Amino acid sequence: MAAYKESPFLPICLASLKAQTVGSEIVLATSTPNNYLAEMAQRFDVRYVVGDHKSGIGRDWNFAFSQSSADFVTVAHQDDAYAPVYTERLMGRVAVADNPILAYTDYAELRGDQIVANNRLLRIKRLMNAALIPAFAARSRFARDRVFSLGCPISTPSVAYNRLRFPDLRFDDRLGTNLDWDMWQRMSAEPGSFVYEPEVLVLHRVHAESETSAGIAGGYRQAEDYEMYRRYWPAPVAKVLAGLYAKSYASND
C-alpha cells in the first residue's frame, strides 16, 4: 500500500485488507513518515517501510511495489476499500489464466458513506472491459489496444501485477494522473493475458483531495489524456477524443 500524509480513510482500507479470506503480506509504504502512519501500522500489525525518495504518485507507487516479494502485487490505495474475497477471486482467475500479465476487477465508487455502483462512467467502463473477457481477447494485443485507444477502463487499485514476470515494473513518474493508462499501454505489448474479474470487488473513493481531482482542477489531466490518445490516433482525432473524455470528469464532482 502506498500511503501519503494522514488520510482519515486509511483505517478503512487497512481493515478491508486484513479481512481478506486469503491472507497475504501487507506493507504500508510511505515517503511522508509521521506518527499517524506508524500508529496505523502497529494497530493493524502490518510492515511499515519509509522511502527516502521525493514524494510523488509515480515514485510512491514504484517504491511500494518494490517492497513486496509476493508473486502478484496490488498497490492498494489508502482511500479505497476491498471486498473480503478480492484476493481469493483474483488468484482463482490467475490460476486458470493463460500466461497472466495482470489481473483486475470491476469496481464501484465510494462517495462519503454512499456506494455508487451504477452510473454512466461505470457502465461505459464495464462495456469496454467486457470486450476483454473472452480468453482470445484477453491475450490479444490488438484487442487490448483497441480498448485502450478509447480510454482507461481499468480501476488501478484493483490491479494485481505479476511480479514474477515484471520484477522491475516502473510507473512513469513524470505523469500525474495517467501513469496507470500508460502502464496498460506498455504492458499490452507483452505476450500474455489481461485477466478480468467482472464482480465488483473494490470500492474506489471519490473525493476532492484525490490525485484525480487535483489533476482535473490543475488542468494537467486533460493534457495527459491528449498525450495518451496521440499514441493511437492522429492529432485531430486525439483532440476530439480527449475533449469527449473530459466530459466524463463531471462524475468526479
- pLDDT tens figures, 53-108: 888 999 999 999 999 999 999 999 999 999 999 999 999 999 999 999 999 999 99
Q: What is the pTM of this model?
A: 0.91
What is the pLDDT, as a whole number, of residue 84?
A: 98
Side-by-side strand order, sheet with 2-3: 2-3, 27-30, 47-50
Work out the average pLDDT over 161-181. 94
pLDDT band at 226 (very low <50, low <70, confident <90, very high): very high
Reference 147, options 196, 101, 98; nearest CA is: 196
Rounded to whole angstroms, how far apart are CA atoms 244 and 172?
Answer: 25
Instruction: Please tell me the class of the 2-252 domain.
Output: alpha beta
